[in-house]
Structure 1
């Protein structure tokens, strides 16, 4: 499986899992010149920007640690742009979550880091 297909499969798995946790999908792969957000969801009244990461056993950095401060800043800027495009959501509480998946297991429960980082 190529990298793009693998990433799509990871996002599919994360999306399905989050929906089973009660979150509602608003946008998938929101892109702008500043970056991309994998999933934008609602958790009750909270707007949730989700980064999905998948890493193998041989990776030097685990999935959660791979979202460094530079990547966090790109996600935050992209989220701010999203909010500027949808002003009706601008006053909604927001958080940034991370879903970490092990690439060697399709059955392992994803690791969900709620409020993984803040602006």
Structure 2
């Protein structure tokens, strides 16, 4: 992708770059962007997109190498709870009592160049 030994980005900048690439990947698959990096105390949602009428909360996980497991394997039960809490906050703030159908997806990214694995309805 764009990582090399001369331009070693910080972990945060790598994460942001991979999130942007994941967003483009999903847009090519037909999803539409709603929001990025929705942050509340105790949780963050990397991407919020629409897949038709379904609101999709997306966690993006990047690993340089999948040798020790995929990024998806790092989405623990505790992380899922934080994502659900942030999603509930988002839904209450933006939809009130008229919540749309929604789901949680995971984008597992690894390698250089980055390869994406999309896990729809992951949890």
1:5 shift after superposition: 0.8
Name segments (4+ residues, structure 1) moved above 6 Å.
Answer: none
Q: How many residues align?
A: 115
Of 12, 28, 46, which aligns to 1:20? 28
5+ residue gaps in structure 1? none
Question: Which structure would you say has the larger Rg?
Answer: 2
5+ residue gaps in structure 2? 1-8
Matches within 5 A, 1:71-90: 71-87=79-95, 90=98
CA distance in 2, matches of 1:59, 1:31: 30
In the superposition, the TM-score normalised over structure 2's length comes to 0.87
In the superposition, the TM-score normalised over structure 1's length comes to 0.89
CA distance in 2, matches of 1:39, 1:20: 15
Root-mean-square deviation (Å): 1.6
Q: In structure 2, do the counterparts of structure 1 residues 4 and 89 end up closer, same or farther at CA, with 3 Å as the change threshold?
A: farther
